[in-house]
Structure 1
C-alpha cells in the first residue's frame, strides 16, 4: 500500500493523465453550463458595459439584464410592461446601447441573458381604453424622428401598430390563484379597480411577433432567455414561441414561483407541469424553500445533505439556484421569503459551493429601499464564493458530516465547504481514511486566508466558528 504521506505525489502523476484527457474533452465538449450568473437587475446597459472588466475579474461568466424593448416610466416594474417588441427603447438604454453592451461582454468571455415578457403588455388603461399597441401616441413619436427609430428597429414596420384587441384574452382579473385556468388565462391585477396587464393569447400572429423578437435578440448575441411570469402561460404558448431553432445554443429558464417542492400545492399545480411539458430550466424555488427551512428557527443543516432525493430541489441540469430574486424584495406578497442577512450569505456559500444547478447572484440599485443588495456583485466575500465555484466546477460532491448546526462537504479533491448556522462554535471530527482529499497539503479558505485545513492523519477535526462559512481551496 502506498503511504498516505505520498498521496500527493501519486495524485500529481495522475493529474498529468487527467490533464491530457481534459484538454481533449474540452475540444469536443460544449462549455460548462453552470457558470455563475450576475443578475444586474435594472442596471442601465451602459453601466453594465462600463463594468465589463470588473464583472469578468469577479468571475461572473453570464449577466442577466432587465427586459429590453420599448417601455416607459422610471419605476423598475415599468420594464415588465412592454409597449412594443420591435425596438429597444427605455430608460435603461436603446438598441445601440444594448448592442454595445453585448459586444463588450462578449469580448471578455461573458454571455448575456435577456429577461423576456411574453405573457402581457403594458397596463395603459389610464391612457387609453383600446388594445392597439404601441398606440397612436407612440406611433406619432416614431414618425416624428423616423431616422432614429428606424435605426434602432429590430424588426417590423414602425408605421403601424403590432397588436390589436384580437390578440388579448378577456379583461378579467385573476381572483383564485389556485385555479390553473384563471392563472393562465386572466389578467394580473393590482386591486382597487386596477384594469390589470392585458393578457396575450398564443394565436399565430402573437407567436410570430414574439419569435421575431427573440430571434432579433439572438442575432444581437444574446445567449439565454429568462421567461418572466412563466406560471401565467400555458406550456403550449411557450413551446409555440420557443421553437427548437430559437432555443438552439440558448439557455432558457422560467420564473414559476412556488412555496416548496414535491407535495406543495403550487409546485404540483404549476412547476411540475411546466417541467413536464417543456424542456426549459426554472428557478429552483423548491431548494430556496429548503434553504429557508434549514437556516430558519428549528431547522437542521442536515436538510441540505441531498434535497433532490426528497423532492426539495430541481434536477441539477434544469435548476437556477438563488438566495434572492428581484420579485422577493420588490413585491409585498413575496417579502416573507427574504432571509436573514447572515443566513442569506451562508446560503450563498451553499449554492456556490455545491455541485448542481446554475447559481445566480442578485444585485440591484436599491429599488426596494432595503439597501442590502446594492453592489452585492462586488462584495469581496461573494466574489470569493464565485471563485470557489469556478475552481470546483466539474468535480463531484460528497458530504463529510452534517448535523443540526453544520454541514461539511468536499468538491472532488479541490475544495471543502463548511457551514455553521448556529451561534456557537462547532468541532466536527471526520474520518479521512477513505477521502480523496489530499494529505499534507494546505487547503486555504477563500473567505478568510488565515484559515487553513491540512490533513495529516486519518481523522481531521473541523473547528467551525459561529454563523460562518468556510470554503477551503487546495
Structure 2
C-alpha cells in the first residue's frame, strides 16, 4: 500500500467512536493450538482429556527425533543427531506413540515440530550422522534401538559430508542466499549447524521421516527454521501425498509486515512459493505496536488490509512463542503481562488465524508461562473462541485506547489498553440478540442486556471483555 493511502486509512481509523464495519465474511478455520513447549511426551499423554476439555483442537509437541538424551536443555531438541529414530530427553518412540494415541482418542490433533534444515553442531564439526559411536550403540543394543526406529537401516549412518552445503557462516541475515544456504553460527569460532543440501538422498530421507510420523497418526508439522530453507527444498520434501490431510506451518521470523525487509525477502516469497501456512509475525509486531506507547488500538481494525497481517486462512497467530523469551535477540519483544492478556483476547476473539497458546516447561521468566495453557483467562477465551467459530466479524467502534467488535450475534469483544474507562455507544439494530443477557466469560459477570436500538458498552481500564449470549 502506498504511504498516502496508508495515512488515509490510519487517519480514518482514529476517529473516536466511529462505527467502522469490516463486513461479515467467511470464517477462517481457526482451531486453537496448545504449544506444549518442551513438555515430556508422557505429560502430554496424561493431560489429554484435560486438554480436550479446555477446548484445544491441536497440540504442538517437541521434535520427534534423536538428540542428546543426556542434555535436558530445550535447544537440544533442535540439534538432530538422527531422524530415523525418536529418542531424547523428553521421550522416545513408544512415549510419542502413546501420546499421539491418547490425543487422537480425544479428537485432538498432534502437530510435530520438525527440524529439516540442519543437523547437530557436535563432534568437532563432524558431518557424518549420527556418527560411528552412535551406530555402534545401535548395533550393541539392537532390540531397543530398532523399537525406536521410524525407518531405515540403523547398521549404518544416514548422512555424510556430501549431504551438506559448504561450511560458511551467515554474516548478513538479510542476504537471502546466505540465510538459505549457509550455516547459523555463534561467535568465538563456532562452526555452526551443518546445513543440509537438498540433494535426492537428503530429500528422500526427509520424505521417509515425515511419512513415518504421518503413519503414526501425526496430523500436522511445524517447520522449524523454514526461513533458512529454499522453497525448492520445501516443495521437494512436501509431496502431495505427505501434505494431504495435514496442517503445515513454517517459522519465518520477521520484525514487521509489508515494507519490512525480512517480510519482503523471506515471508512474502515463502507464502507465494509454497502452499504452507506460517506464524503471523507481521500481526504480532502490529499488535505490539498498537499496545505500545503512542500506539493506537484503531490500527487493529483490519491489519491485513494494510499489509500488517498475513492471509487469515494461512495464519498461526500468537502473543508469545518460545523463540521470544528463550533467545536473547528477541527478548525485547516480550509484552507487558497485562498487555499480553489483552492481546490474547484480540487473537482469540477475532476472525481468522489459528491462535497458538504457548505453555512453557523451562520455567523461564520466573515460571511466567508454566501452565499457561490452563490459566483462568485462557480457558475462558477458548470457550469464547470455540463458541463463535463460523461467525463473521464486524468492528463496532474504536479509538486510540480501545476496540469493540462483534462475532455475528454470538459474541462481543471489547479491549481497553488505557488507564481510564472507555465508553462506546453502538447502534444495536440487526447486530445483537435482544432481550437476552450477554455474559462476560472472563469475569463470569458484567452482563449486557439489550432492549433498544442503542447501547453503551463500558470497557474498564486495562481490561478485556468477551461477552456471549445466555
TM-score range, shorter chain: over 0.9
4+ runs deviating over 6 angstroms:
none
Please give the secondary structure, in 2, of the residue aligned with 1:312.
coil
TM-score, normalised to structure 1's length? 0.92
1:75 alignment partner in structure 2:
73
Shift of 1:368: 2.9
Structure ranking higher on relative contact order (CA contacts 8 Å, 6+ apart): 2
Which whole-Å CA distance do the structure 2 matches of 1:324 and 1:332 have between them?
14
CA contact (8 A) 1:202 1:237 kept: yes
Please give the secondary structure, in 2, of the residue aligned with 1:109.
coil
2:443 alignment partner in structure 1:
448
Which whole-Å CA distance do the structure 2 matches of 1:130 and 1:267 have between them?
34
1:100 alignment partner in structure 2:
98
Shift of 1:366: 3.2
1:207 equivalent to 2:186? Answer: no
Which whole-Å CA distance do the structure 2 matches of 1:283 and 1:452 have between them?
35
Which whole-Å CA distance do the structure 1 matches of 2:86 and 2:371 have between them?
26
1:469 alignment partner in structure 2:
464
Which whole-Å CA distance do the structure 2 matches of 1:193 and 1:363 have between them?
34
Please give the secondary structure, in 1, of the residue aligned with 2:445.
coil
Which whole-Å CA distance do the structure 2 matches of 1:207 and 1:133 have between them?
15
Which whole-Å CA distance do the structure 1 matches of 2:370 and 2:364 have between them?
10
Shift of 1:286: 0.6
2:333 alignment partner in structure 1:
337
Which whole-Å CA distance do the structure 2 matches of 1:140 and 1:93 have between them?
21
1:123-175 per-position Cα deviation (integer Å, ceiling 9, x unaligned): 00xx2443110001111111121011111211000010000000001111100
CA contact (8 A) 2:125 2:191 kept: no
Shift of 1:116: 0.5
1:264 equivalent to 2:256? Answer: no
CA contact (8 A) 1:76 1:367 kept: no
1:158 alignment partner in structure 2:
154
Which whole-Å CA distance do the structure 1 matches of 2:148 and 2:422 have between them?
59
2:399 alignment partner in structure 1:
403
Task: From 83, 105, 116, give the equivalent of 1:85.
Answer: 83
Shift of 1:428: 1.4
CA contact (8 A) 1:366 1:372 kept: no
Which whole-Å CA distance do the structure 1 matches of 2:424 and 2:388 have between them?
23
1:57 equivalent to 2:48? Answer: no
CA contact (8 A) 2:37 2:359 kept: yes
1:438 equivalent to 2:442? Answer: no
CA contact (8 A) 1:256 1:282 kept: yes
2:20 alignment partner in structure 1:
none
Please give the secondary structure, in 2, of the residue aligned with 1:398.
strand
Mapping for residues 406-417 of structure 1, pairs under 5 Å: 406-417=402-413
Which whole-Å CA distance do the structure 1 matches of 2:393 and 2:146 have between them?
52
1:378 equivalent to 2:378? Answer: no
2:225 alignment partner in structure 1:
229
Shift of 1:202: 0.3
Please give the secondary structure, in 2, of the residue aligned with 1:99.
helix
CA contact (8 A) 2:34 2:60 kept: yes
Mapping for residues 290-309 of structure 1, pairs under 5 Å: 290-309=286-305
Which whole-Å CA distance do the structure 1 matches of 2:362 and 2:245 have between them?
33
Please provide the CA RMSD for this pair. Answer: 1.1
C-alpha change, 1:32 and 1:113, in structure 2 (3 Å) is farther
CA contact (8 A) 1:413 1:436 kept: yes
TM-score, normalised to structure 2's length? 0.93
CA contact (8 A) 1:261 1:311 kept: yes
Task: From 118, 121, 138, give the equivalent of 1:120.
Answer: 118
1:94-120 per-position Cα deviation (integer Å, ceiling 9, x unaligned): 101000000000111100000001100
Shift of 1:370: 4.0
1:364 equivalent to 2:360? Answer: yes
Task: From 417, 424, 435, give the equivalent of 2:420.
Answer: 424
> Which runs of 5 or more structure 1 residues have no equivalent in the other structure?
1-30
